[in-house]
Amino acid sequence: MKLAARAPADDGLFMPAEWEPHERCWMQWPSRGSVWGEHLPHAYQAYANVARAISRFEPVAMICRPHEAAAARLACGRGIEIVPIEIDDSWARDTGPTFVIDGKGGVAGVHWQFNAWGNAYQGYEQDAEVGAAMLEQLGMRRYAGPMIFEGGSISVDGYGTLLTTEECLLNDNRNPGLTRQQIEERVALFLGISRIVWLDQGLEDDETSGHVDMIACFAGRGRVLLHMPEDKSDPNFARMQENRARLEAARDAGGRKLEVIEVPQPRRNLRRSDGRRLCTSYINFYIANGGIVMPSFDDPNDEAAARIIGEAFPDREVVQVPALDIAVGGGVIHCITQQQPKGAPLSR
């Protein structure tokens, strides 16, 4: 496999929208005991349920520690490919590669630098290399992303527009030596982006420092789904109102105004054992071939959120999977999945 010295944009590659056809979905089996604690068995079941739901629509490959392969295979059942690779934990969106395409059937990957969300956790060396291991296994060209970056920090429309938050991408805990302009240039070159829409903050107590995939995503060209609390006294309400104002003032890469569709925040305000808020969001869903696999939280807004997201993707079947046991670990369904676009691996 060749490690490309150039940026993807130099070779005409770009990140496609998540609703474009997929070859497979990648996941990583829960591993870090210090994160999951006594919830780890519940996390196993929740991840397996997500994998099986997605496998109705497209192939799923589950990475796991080699010594846990038998247990993962038993929990996931037939139809889920088990891929033994050493990992530290289970957030494929952030530790896996970002796949880019040439628009002619070729696919490559960007392997970014990783520091566990601003050194929120220690012992992430294997997760920092899992993206490279995946691309090696696929025999796919690898571009070395020149900064610390996580897939959950962005959403793209496939036509040159990217959503992100200032709280995350400009945070000193990621790339303190880079200016805003330098970060924008790297994102543009490595994802084929021509316009960045900067939102302000993510959710309260989000340990990723404001990943956009908990609050907003593209649901088509010129259309954005936005997380929105119903309670105006909720700290997230002011944050999302600011983000809505920025979206309404923005234009996409084609000069279009953005249609903003609000998706309600779960009503239940759940807390972790240390008092921090448990981050739950319906925006954090996976777009599969012909389906949407989205979270439910045993919440009064589960049904309304499914209806709104289903209306945004009328050609896809909406499947809800209970996700509170995933949220305990710090994310939801989008966080634990990574789509590989359909196409042949580019090797040179």
| DSSP 8-state assignment for residue 15 | P
Query: 215, 260 in Cβ contact below 8 A?
Result: no
Q: Which residues pair with 217 in a beta bridge?
A: 225
The DSSP code for 343 is: S
Which of 220, 218, 179 minimizes the C-alpha distance to 199?
Answer: 218
**Within 13 Å and on the Cβ side, how many CA atoms surround 294?**
27
Which one-letter DSSP state was computed for residue 342? Answer: S
Reported in sequence order, the residue ranges of the chain that DSSP labels E, i.e. its strands, are: 3-4, 22-28, 60-64, 80-84, 98-101, 106-113, 142-148, 155-156, 161-165, 195-199, 216-218, 223-228, 259-264, 286-288, 291-296, 317-322, 338-341, 344-345
Residue type, 45: Q
Strand pairing class (223-228; 216-218): antiparallel
Residue 335 annotated among the catalytic residues of the structure: yes
Residues 6+ apart with CB under 8 A from 242: 199, 200, 201
Q: Of 25, 168, 217, 335, which one is the catalytic site residue? A: 335
257 pairs with which residues across the strands?
A: 251
Name the residues annotated as catalytic. 335
